[in-house]
Structure 1
């Protein structure tokens, strides 16, 4: 629950990544290099996804910047523009960000598959987007990725 932020009041994608990455850094989930590595990767390989009723982003970087696996979730007070994974020229109004710290590259595909399954369930995604308690989001995430 200490990696979940509700009503995150960031204005840019970089601010969101820095804010969520700082939560991970404070708990020593990631190395000092992690935030800059995520920002650099996002420039060349954007992670915004249009899920239909809402848009999400799943920024991440290479395992060498990670100490322990973790996911930080940010529910944004106002949508923030992230470039689309599918069409990098297009900017999406993202409402929920899942910042990933993956230690084992083999598990990254498995985690992304579980997140995509979560994204397919519009009702659950809306629950995350509109949650007013971090506990609610933590419970949903535990079920989704366990």
Structure 2
């Protein structure tokens, strides 16, 4: 499938996370997106607030992921920031059972500027995160550019 055949192709960025707590990581990732002109400076707190109400940790095997995002108000340009954690991951509440936690090693921060676009991006992203090889490759990538390449290839092929 060629990129021009996809109606929503967000900017995809790779990122190596340095924070160790959920809120620190969400703010760190949002600040990075803000530095790239993708979101407003208020985006980080908005993502944290939404995550407190609607958790996004997903217990995929063998590597758990999270898909934090919020409403489009803080979005300037559609993007997916693919964050790779080191160590055991970042603890998120699970999307399917908020009483349970998951240690996400890959965090997909979404910044989507339209409601329809968000549904489309999340749908494609759900296909991507079900591919064990893609998630393992992202988790083991050596550079931010490699993370971006892996994710871009996987996203475009969906």
Superposition TM-score tier, normalisation by shorter sequence = over 0.9
CA contact (8 A) 1:3 1:23 kept: no
What pairs up with 1:6-85 in 2 under 5 angstroms?
6=16, 8-78=17-87, 79-85=89-95
Q: Which has the higher strand share?
A: 1
Equivalent of 2:149 in 114, 139, 142: 139
User: 1:90 aligned to 2:100?
Assistant: yes
Aligned length: 145
Deviations 1:59-87 (A, max 9, x none): 00001110110111111012111000000
CA contact (8 A) 2:134 2:151 kept: no
Deviations 1:21-79 (A, max 9, x none): 11111112111221111000000000000112111000000011101101111110121
> Which 5+ residue runs of structure 2 have no aligned equivalent?
1-10
User: 1:113 aligned to 2:130?
Assistant: no
> Which 5+ residue runs of structure 1 have no aligned equivalent?
none
CA drift at 1:135: 2.0
RMSD of the TM alignment (CA)? 1.5
* TM-score where L is the length of structure 2: 0.86
Which stretches of structure 1, 4 residues or more, deviate above 6 A after TM superposition?
none
CA contact (8 A) 2:15 2:147 kept: no
